[in-house]
Amino acid sequence: MSRFRPPVWFVLLLPAIIILAAVVLIPLILSFYSSFTPYKLTRPDTLYKWIGTFNYEKAIKSTHFWAAFGRTVLLLTIALNLEMLMGLGLALLVNKVTYGQRALRTIMMFPMMFSPVLVGFQFKFIFNDNVGLVNNALQSLGLTDKAIPWLVDGQLAFIAILTAEMWSATSVFAILILAGLFAVPRDPIEAAKVDGCTPWQSFRHITLPYIMPFIYIALAIRSLDVARAYDIVQIMTNGGPARRTELLWTLIGRTGYIDAKMGYANAMGYISIFLAIFFTVYFFRKLNAARSELGMAG
């Protein structure tokens, strides 16, 4: 009579596990397999031809790949750090406000509502060399009479993309860090003031350790979907012109869909997945460390 009854938690988690397996895990296994084949969309039979690690070797030898990889890591590093710093600054500014803080907080959430595509489009418009807000303003102020090619020049385009990315994500940091600032008890800060700390010292020694977990949460959440930057770049430059703003993700998309080299694209896709997982795991570990530092663990 003893029928096997699975534990309740397992039943409750089952739908989530099934859907994630179907939509994420199985395709990932497939793409892992196909990364060892010369699979091309246009020739389905190539899916059954095993070529070993050829695609990975090809990627590792490709200068295009390394340029895109380097550019991606550079963009992520600069963007995440600047967003964190500016988010921290913004949160501190808003935290100091006593009157009208609710309104400011609401304004602060504004960029979070914009989908990345919209951000990309918005900044494509703003940085447009002909009708963009930036060039219009520069010309009207008499700072230049040329149309600065923001989205054509490689370095300028990088700056434009970075600006768009930061505009869209800084507020995520600011909101979460602000929540952290609210959670900082007032007493230790005042004790530090009495103990002789300058405002900078009490921030450095007391406030910062308190909000570190919140900063890492923000970094972890952000690194979960850094790849959203793909949307922005795809709209603004699509990696162009002439690969000058090529990121890993745009390179993958182009290789897979335009060149139809699915196997090769999947191989690079795997590299990008490990990059994302690396960032996420790294910040989660930092979060746990910061939490136990404050005695919040458990």
Partner 1 sequence: MAQVHLRDVVKKYGAIQVVHGIDLEIQDNEFVVLVGPSGCGKSTTLRMIAGLEDISGGEITIGDRVVNDLPPRHRNISMVFQNYALYPHMTVRENLGFSLKIAKRPQDEIDRAVDEAAGILSLAEYLDRKPGELSGGQRQRVAMGRAIVRHPEVFLFDEPLSNLDAKLRTQMRTEIKKLHQKVKSTIVYVTHDQVEAMTLADRIVIMRDGHIEQVGTPLDVFESPANTFVATFIGSPPMNLLRGRITGDTISLTDGPLISLPPQFASNVADGQDVILGFRADNLMPVGHAMPMEGAYAEFKMTVNLSEPLGTETLLFGALAGKEVQAKMLNPRPLQNGEQLQFQLDLTRCHLFDAQTEQSLR
Partner 2 sequence: MNENLQHRIRKYLLKALHFVALFIAMAIICVPGLWVVLNSFRPTVEIMAKPPVWIPNELNLDNYRAMFGAVGEGGVPVLQYFTNSLIVSVTSTLIAILVGMAGGYAFARYSFKGKAGIFIGLMLTRAVPGVSLSLPLFIVMAKTGLIDTHLGLILVYVALNVPFTIWLIDGFFRQVPIDLAEAAEIDGCTRWQAFWKVEFPVARAGVASAGIFAFLTSWNEYALASQLTRSTFSKTMPVGLRDFTSEFTINWGGMCALAVLMIIPALILTFIVQKHLIAGLTFGGVKG
Could you say which residues in the range 187-206 bind partner 1, by CB under 8 A? 187-188, 190-198, 201, 205-206
With respect to partner 2, which residue has the nearer C-beta, 192 or 232? 232
With respect to partner 2, which residue has the nearer C-beta, 54 or 284? 284
- The residues in 57-116 that bind partner 2, with binding defined as CB under 8 A, are 89-90, 93-94, 96-97, 104-116
Task: Choose one: 73-81, 153-161, 170-178, 186-194; the region binding partner 2 (CB under 8 A).
Answer: 170-178
For 240, phi and psi rounded to 5 degrees? -90, -165
- The residues in 189-228 that bind partner 2, with binding defined as CB under 8 A, are 213-214, 217, 220-221, 223-228
Burial (CB count within 10 angstroms: exposed 0-12, middle 13-18, buried 19+), residue 69: buried
Binding to partner 1 by residue 291, rule CB under 8 A? no
Nearest-angstrom CA–CA distance, 146 and 297: 57
Nearest-angstrom CA–CA distance, 110 and 70: 31
CB atoms within 10 A of CB 266: 25
Minimum distance, C-beta of residue 187 to partner 2, in the bound complex (Å): 19
First vs last C-alpha separation in the chain: 41
Binding to partner 1 by residue 259, rule CB under 8 A? no
Residue 287 touches which member of partner 1, partner 2, none, C-beta under 5-8 Å by kind: partner 2
Minimum distance, C-beta of residue 255 to partner 2, in the bound complex (Å): 9
Q: Give the CA distances from residue 29 to residues 23, 25, 223, in Å, rounded to whole numbers and listed in that order.
A: 11, 6, 23
CA 97 to chain centre: 29
How big is the site for partner 1, counted in residues (CB under 8 A)?
20
Binding to partner 1 by residue 151, rule CB under 8 A? no
